[in-house]
Structure 1
Amino acid sequence: MSEQHTYSVVTVPVSGGELTVGVWEPVGEITDTIVAIHGVTASHLAWMDVVPTLPGVRIIAPDLRGRGRSNQIDGPAGMAAHAADIIAVMDAFGLANTTLVGHSMGAFVSVVTAYLHPDRISRLVLIDGGLPLDVPAGLSAEELVQHILGPTAARLDMRFASVDDYLALWRAHPAFANAWTPALEQYLAYDLVPDGSGALRPATSYAVTVDDTVDLNTGSLPRDAVAGISVPTVFVWVPRGLQNETPGLYSPEQVARLEEALPSVRFRFVEDLNHYTIVMSDRGASAVAPIIAAELAELHV
């Protein structure tokens, strides 16, 4: 954890239950606040590497419904439900408006939140997500999840005898071959919850993952939200995907099409990182921190 921040966990009432929210408070003066929104099978601890790179910034990061310690919330997910939860978090902290920093699916949630509540969101930082993916048409829900997430979703049905067994699965993951850290181990251990029979399972609900993945790729609201972006927005993308493969979620060709279609969005390419390590590594955090800090600085001009 950051020596420049104190860390705590609070709960926020939302439709269907309570959202667990991680909060990193600067030790000294608070210069800015961001709400950081994680990816489709992640948790708020995905931001641990980013926190120390933002001194003076309060980072408020929820476990999205169906994930982490928010995995017992009743009711459907989808981008509109997540957006409502983000506004509930902002209300709980007395934030009239704020900057949203979203990674992967969290970036889609960020765009939809800004679209539905434009007076509440000042700026968007979208990290390898939030803009339309280039996926084949006509895929079923299961095929869509497999095409985009692959083994990331498959692990959700797996059971583990211990935390060490789960860490062993991830140690073999190509995305973290050169980026294994104590912070990553803490993030992964937090992902596990009892399955009721003496084993451990990932906290993320597979059903919610399917619903969210289908919604962000085929729903009309995310498309309308992208077309209606009205706040200053920067999009950060990387060359490698969830398995450290190339191209990543966004190919150079898709980015070129998006740049032409969205002239108001600023595009930033970060070399030699993958979809995970852009936030969950020291190098990734060091790359995105100046981008976030520059956006926050614009609020004070």
Structure 2
Amino acid sequence: MQSPTPEELRIPVSGGDLAALRWPAAGGDGAGAATGASGTPPVLAVHGITANGLSFGAVAAHLAPHTAVVAPDLRGRGASGHLPGPYGLGAHVDDLVAVLDHLGVERAVLAGHSMGAFVSCLAAVRRPDRFAAALLVDGGYGLAAPPGTDIEAVIGPAMARLRMEFADRDAYRGFWRRHPAFGGELPEVVDAYIQRDLVGAEPHMHSPCVEEAVRTDGAQVLADAEVLGAVHRLPCPTRLLWARRGLLDEEPGLYTPETLTSLAEAGVPTEEVPGTNHYSLLFDPESARLVAERVRDLQRQSAGA
């Protein structure tokens, strides 16, 4: 399913303007595009640690006919790469609330991928008045990393990419084609996502992701007590989807059935998305459709609460 072209938004936040993408609900415009015909809460999509809002393009293609989807480029990433610190997941929560305020949205359903799932948990705990439900996509629950682990050891090539230069956009495509999680294939929705992550002039193009932002956020994902505890204190309907394979298409991925047992016992449903890795979970047509379905399930659940 081809993703429709989103609107580009600029939203005032601390230190400047946050970039965001909006896929309006069918027939909607402006603030009136905040909800679908059913009046369910709109979707606020929160991307991963070195990603950008277009990582949710394939999912938005399934959601946008029914409800608005807004996907910010988080502070220090994508078209928000210019925003200064302080970084950290609390700053992202403040920025998400600023997005809702700017759009005149009272409450939204969160969909967070990877680090964005940890941001979503923290947002739901800190601001239960603004967030009605949270779908966690391969993230949000503490990773089995030894104490003192550096985030670069977890995300590998994603961090190395931030220090690289590329002669042109085709060279950047070549980098991603060689990435084991993509297996040489770059569908249109993936190409749009990676091209949003490239700035500068030839032959010195580079990612706009700020390494300091990635390291600050990554340290909190791995070791901050409030961030790691948020998933156990969620005040709203929540579900975690997970991929058996990881960032490099390896097994196991970030989670296993065994590591997720305590989360399920705590009342947070977990669901494996078959045949996916950490990236393809969002981009594969069938898994993107499933992610969208689970978001809509949470919308209906929260609307009926």
Q: Which secondary structure state, in structure 2, belongs to the residue aligned with residue 13 of structure 1?
A: strand
Name the CA shift for 1:179/1:160 in 2 (closer, same or farther; >3 Å).
closer
Alignment of 1:12-91 (within 5 A): 12-28=11-27, 30-31=36-37, 32=40, 33-54=42-63, 55-91=65-101
| One-letter amino acid of the structure 2 residue matched with residue 42 of structure 1 | A
TM-score, structure 1 normalization: 0.92
Distance 1:174 1:289 in 2: 25
Check whether the contact 2:26–2:67 (CA below 8 A) recurs between aligned residues: no
Q: Please list every run of 5 or more consecutive structure 1 residues that lacks an aligned counterpart in the other structure.
A: none
Distance 2:148 2:203 in 1: 40
| One-letter amino acid of the structure 1 residue matched with residue 172 of structure 2 | Y
Q: Which secondary structure state, in structure 2, belongs to the residue aligned with residue 175 of structure 1?
A: coil
User: Match for 1:282 among 285, 289, 299?
Assistant: 285
Check whether the contact 1:6–1:25 (CA below 8 A) recurs between aligned residues: no
Check whether the contact 1:6–1:27 (CA below 8 A) recurs between aligned residues: no
Distance 2:241 2:230 in 1: 18
User: Match for 2:219 among 192, 214, 217?
Assistant: 214
Stretches (4+) displaced over 3 A: none
Give the match for residue 167 of structure 1. 173
Measured after TM superposition, the shift of residue 146 of structure 1 is: 2.5
Measured after TM superposition, the shift of residue 217 of structure 1 is: 1.3
Give the match for residue 115 of structure 2. 105
Check whether the contact 1:179–1:281 (CA below 8 A) recurs between aligned residues: no
Q: Please list every run of 5 or more consecutive structure 2 residues that lacks an aligned counterpart in the other structure.
A: 29-35
User: Match for 1:251 among 245, 256, 260?
Assistant: 256
Distance 1:178 1:158 in 2: 20
How many residue pairs get aligned? The number is 293
Higher strand share: 1
| One-letter amino acid of the structure 2 residue matched with residue 264 of structure 1 | G
Check whether the contact 1:96–1:120 (CA below 8 A) recurs between aligned residues: yes
User: Match for 1:150 among 150, 156, 170?
Assistant: 156
Q: Which secondary structure state, in structure 2, belongs to the residue aligned with residue 192 of structure 1?
A: coil
Distance 1:121 1:178 in 2: 38
Measured after TM superposition, the shift of residue 215 of structure 1 is: 1.0
Show CA shifts across 1:180-204 (max 9, x none): 2011111111100117x85100111
Q: Which secondary structure state, in structure 1, belongs to the residue aligned with residue 104 of structure 2?
A: coil
Q: Which secondary structure state, in structure 2, belongs to the residue aligned with residue 174 of structure 1?
A: coil
Show CA shifts across 1:237-260 (max 9, x none): 110100000011112221123323
Question: Is 1:126 equivalent to 2:132 in the alignment?
Answer: no
Show CA shifts across 1:61-91 (max 9, x none): 1000000010111122111000000000011
Distance 1:219 1:299 in 2: 28
Stretch deviating more after TM superposition (288-297 or 218-227):
218-227
Check whether the contact 2:177–2:184 (CA below 8 A) recurs between aligned residues: no
Q: Which secondary structure state, in structure 2, belongs to the residue aligned with residue 193 of structure 1?
A: coil
Name the CA shift for 1:2/1:93 in 2 (closer, same or farther; >3 Å).
farther
Distance 2:173 2:250 in 1: 21
Measured after TM superposition, the shift of residue 290 of structure 1 is: 1.5
Show CA shifts across 1:271-295 (max 9, x none): 1100001112212202212111111
Give the match for residue 296 of structure 1. 299
Distance 2:110 2:295 in 1: 10
